[in-house]
Chain A
Amino acid sequence: MREATIAGAGMTRFGVHESTLPELFADAALPAMDDAGVEAADIDALYLGNTMGGQIEGESHLAPTLASHVGLAGVPCQRFEDACATSSNAFKHAVRAVEAGHHDAVLVGGVERCSAATGRETDEMTRIFASAAHGTYERPTGLTFPGVFALLTKRHMHEYGTTEEQLAEVAVKNHYHGSLNPRAHFGKETTVEEVLEGPIVADPFHLHDCCPFSDGAAAVVVASAEVAAELDCDLVPVAGVGHATDVVPIADKAHPSVTRSARDAASQAYETARIGPDDVDVVELHDCFTGAEVLATEALGLVEDGQGGPAAAAGRTSLGGEIPVNPSGGLKAKGHPLGATGVAQLVELTEQLRGDAGDRQVEDADVGLAHNLGGDAATTVVTVLEAAR
């Protein structure tokens, strides 16, 4: 089997964008191609992540439209849709296609517009986001996505004593990291008091426990090691990708707060990369809500079960701590344009492993891990990247 690498990476600032989906996508895709040192003729396929474009913007055949916009008309295109894990699923399939020898170089990108610039109000966007919950057994209850993670987090608090202050510490940390990232939606620091004084969205989550509705795009070029070696690029090998799902709806999961799919996907990725959690130097994980980060740090084996909250409060997961989590600011501060989020995590790790992350650079980062979750924690994709030797 051939080795897949990330040959180039690009992304837009996350936040509010007035541009159309094709324009936004191009602002990530063309820089990724330039970074890899490839031209349109070198790209064999487009694997695209976009999850809500049909509902939010009425766009239901996006991949060929975007391919044409960036000069790739004619290549095979595929749009992936897996709620918030959409573009890391596109990435997984690109890696598999390169490993199997079907393609030599694939453009993998994600793009989404979720901000008020789309013309959608908060309650309308909340309804659209809730479409990732079960239509018969969950949506009629009025369950929202903050509500889904609130249910998981409240159970975790009950079982382990995780506190609202510890949750707020996750937001404080990620806002601090975001203040070091020029592409972050939120560039300002916050405090525990500020988080706890904010309005409740779904208890225990206050407004600043929740990620924002963001617009943005991210892209990488996945190439075989052989092809990448011929390019003028700073390649980052893909050491392992794991992908697992759990039962839907959440009521049927054996132990909802354990986030089984994350544990299974992580096991696969660690096994393929032949590493364990202790070998990871930098992590980008799916902190759509502060409680989601606590659950994920435990599911990935970075801290012991029950220690996710205390670890964040003690600075163990901060830049400069023993295992820096979300140096980009994460979804919480960097922003969450659903279909772009998974690949954006890989863009951040690519820069970290190249030593190009500026003020938020994790020292001696050789192994990076991305965790991207979709739906009611039913889908998780975990990717391990390793610095080129």
Chain B
Amino acid sequence: MTSDLGQYLSDGELGVDGWTAALEDDRLLGQACPDCEHVTAAPKAACARCGSRDLDPVELPEEGTVYSATRVEVAPEGFAAPYTVALVTVGDARVTARIDADVEIGDDVRFQGATESPEGLTPLFG
């Protein structure tokens, strides 16, 4: 699953540019820490749990479960409310995403690709 991720890496690392480029291709990437097994959908220079810099880029599963969700009705400048923002569990990671459906905690959702916003690209589930 992760064999063709080279195009998104810089010096073998997954950074913001690669993560965003993958999202443009409707792919959701993350990092797995081989030392503490923390998996994140928000890549960093080192593991947020243990500090290890030896991180493996991974492609995250497309099937997820809603961990928490809220319908935002008072939006920041540039956004059109209402819309739903959720924390979605995907495999061993969690991702902050937009949801294009009415959802409850525990609902199964599926990665739909990227959606544009005034602040940049964001994952969409539904």
Contact = CB atoms under 8 A, between A and B. Distances in A.
Interface size class of B (residues with CB under 8 A): 35 or more
Interface stretch (A27-35, A85-93, A94-102, A124-132): A124-132
A310 B72 CA distance: 26
Contact of A252 (B40, B69, B86, B98): B40
A155 B119 contact: no
B105 A144 contact: no
Contact of A249 (B20, B68, B96, B120): B96
A141 B98 CA distance: 6
A254 B48 CA distance: 10
Contacts of A147: 70, 72, 85
Nearest to B76: A127
Interface string B96-126: 1110000001100000000001011110000
B4 interface: no
Contacts of B77: 121, 123-124, 126-127
Contact of A137 (B42, B49, B74, B78): B42
Given A141-B98, A199-B73, A201-B73, A154 B85 contact: no
Nearest to B20: A136
Interface string B46-76: 0011000000000000000001111111111
Nearest to A122: B74
A151 B74 contact: no
A53 B70 CA distance: 29
A152 interface: yes
A105 to B, nearest CB: 39
Most buried by A among B41, B119, B121: B119
B85 A152 contact: no
Most chain B beta carbons < 10 A, residue from A121, A124, A202? A202
B74 A136 contact: no
B117 A141 contact: yes
A140 interface: yes
Contact of B41 (A146, A251, A257): A251
Nearest to B73: A200
Nearest to A145: B76
B9 interface: no
A151 B76 contact: no
Contacts of A126: 74-77
A247 B48 contact: yes
A2 B94 CA distance: 45
Interface string A228-255: 0000000000000000000111111010
A142 to B, nearest CB: 4
B42 A136 contact: yes
Nearest to B86: A151
Interface in A139-183: 139-144, 146-147, 150-152, 154-155, 158
Most chain A CB atoms below 10 A, which of B19, B73, B97, B122: B73
Contact of A155 (B97, B105, B121): B105
B87 A250 contact: yes
A202 B97 CA distance: 15
A202 B73 contact: yes
A256 interface: yes
Given A127-B76, A154-B68, A256-B68, A141 B87 contact: no
Contacts of B96: 134, 137-138, 141, 143, 249-251
A177 B12 CA distance: 57
B67 A155 contact: yes
B45 interface: no
A122 B76 CA distance: 8
A124 B74 CA distance: 11
Contacts of A202: 70-74
Contacts of A122: 74
B119 A154 contact: no
Given A137-B96, A144-B74, A154 B117 contact: no
A158 B74 CA distance: 23
In the A-B complex, list the 9 residue pairs whose CB atoms are closest, starting with the nearest.
A150-B70, A127-B76, A140-B122, A140-B120, A251-B94, A137-B42, A155-B68, A127-B77, A123-B77
5 contacts: A136-B19, A142-B75, A144-B75, A199-B73, A202-B74
Given A139-B120, A142-B122, A201-B73, 20 more contacts: A123-B76, A127-B77, A134-B42, A135-B119, A136-B16, A137-B96, A139-B119, A141-B98, A142-B79, A142-B83, A143-B72, A144-B76, A146-B74, A147-B85, A152-B68, A154-B105, A155-B87, A200-B73, A202-B72, A249-B96
